[in-house]
A and B are shown apart, each in its own frame.
Chain A
């Protein structure tokens, strides 16, 4: 459709050029820099950097952290969206605002609150010490901080989708004799599956890439509490740039996969 009213061709071309130049400068160049620097010393050096034992243990820890944070927030998102979208109760808007709260908190503060709670001088520190339980500077701390920063992702995608869906279909299913779980799996879930998947994709990307919050609670113990982004930081600070960028390229690749998956879901829904 040609618009009856549009900017002159010259202005249009100029605006497109400005937009592409801006995105090229701020998005494409950094991404290209990651891959060129990663391959600077050839494929062999690249392969060595991403397969050395410390990189592999960081990869394992990153996957493990996401494997805890994502399912937890997925179950929470489903529960919260069900309660908020299908029922009326006072204080609903306040609850939605509270669910969004972690987005307003700096990642550094997200890590710090778990130090205040579980650290050696924290509120629960002495009790944890007596029982020889390590939360901070150990895996549970990483999982907790990651769960905190990825907390709203699934819920905030699902709530509007479930609200838009209404509740007539579920009510009809119930009246026709379907059980609660049957209604959920046969009616609700198929209706919201793309919104759900969208939330999970974003949640997972953030969980695997989180840096600030895990940096505070990790203690940077190599081979033990180092996730991939923290491993990148250590390599970089040791001036081992090629290895740092090689590991970073794995995360950049993950980001590209995330964008493709996200576009696919947007296109399907």
Chain B
């Protein structure tokens, strides 16, 4: 079969690059990941169910998914504003601001974690005034949300920005000439066109936040049942040599990530069909 594909091309190297790609993919990604499925299969359905529904695990899932959802929602709202401002307006220092949006991709998560903790701790720059208002951020679920907002920040901006830049101005002009106010044009014409990319950015930020560890552990305080995220609980179980329990929690997280990945792919399919 391989030679049948190759005959169409005068370019060399299909066999070797494809062989190398598949081998390397299997060794680094597929075989190691498959151990997760094998290990949790040794548990049996009843023990698996017990492992993922114990109250401490359920509490960690609630915190992880709840905080990730809240953080993605915050980023969806403000990410739209940032993307709009960067794509449509001109102001001094814009290039710098644009480059800076990617900071959460470049800054190691542990550094982000300790920096946010220092800021929001009760003696921190932001923590002190907030504490005066009676709001505690560090070592509460709110702190977890703040950390997840930080690491998810670029996703919505970076998925929306090119789509806003590519919007056809004629459509907005048509809406305006037919008598729509600017707000009406935005709500009825612009926003629907941005919707697939907006949802994609939201899902990407959510997916990233669900698995996040480094930026959260410092600010969370890690109290079981209260501020313990699921990835941390996995590490705790591993340190107690409860490998099967750890894999069961991990498998649920992984399945959630895959479902998100799948919906992101469907969203992109939807958006490419709309723009085509």
Contacts and interface: CB of A to CB of B under 8 A. Distances in A.
Q: Which of B105, B173, B265 has the most chain A CB within a 10 Å cutoff? A: B105
B102 A259 contact: yes
B243 A255 contact: no
Interface string B107-135: 11111101110110000111000000000
B33 A113 contact: yes
B119 A33 contact: yes
Given A16-B89, A106-B257, A262-B99, A251 B108 contact: yes
B150 A31 contact: no
Given A34-B111, A212-B214, A251-B107, 17 more contacts: A15-B85, A22-B78, A23-B82, A31-B115, A86-B11, A87-B5, A95-B21, A104-B258, A106-B213, A108-B231, A109-B211, A167-B11, A175-B10, A230-B110, A248-B114, A251-B111, A263-B95
A258 B102 CA distance: 10
Contacts of B11: 86-87, 167, 170-171, 174, 180, 183
A171 B235 CA distance: 52
Interface in B23-50: 24-25, 28-33, 35-36, 38-39
Interface stretch (A48-56, A115-123, A126-134): A115-123
A213 to B, nearest CB: 9
Interface in A201-232: 202, 205, 208-212, 215-216, 228-230, 232
A83 interface: yes
A79 B254 contact: no
Interface string B1-18: 000011011111110111
A47 interface: no
B103 interface: yes
B25 A27 contact: no
B235 A19 contact: no
Nearest to B10: A174
Contacts of A20: 97
B106 interface: yes
Interface residues of A, number: 98
Contact of B246 (A79, A112, A147): A112
Interface in B217-235: 218, 231-232, 234-235
B243 A121 contact: yes
A190 interface: no
A79 B20 contact: yes
Interface in B172-207: 172-173, 176, 182, 185, 207
B9 A229 contact: no
B250 A87 contact: no
Most B CB within 10 A of own CB, among A122, A252, A254? A252
Nearest to A212: B213
Nearest to B175: A5
7 contacts: A76-B21, A83-B21, A112-B234, A112-B238, A167-B9, A184-B13, A229-B108
A115 B247 CA distance: 11
Given A4-B173, A89-B5, A251-B107, A105 B35 contact: no
B261 interface: yes
Contact of B14 (A15, A83, A256, A258): A83
A92 to B, nearest CB: 11
Contacts of B218: 236
Contacts of B78: 18-19, 22
A241 to B, nearest CB: 7
B81 A22 contact: yes
A103 to B, nearest CB: 8
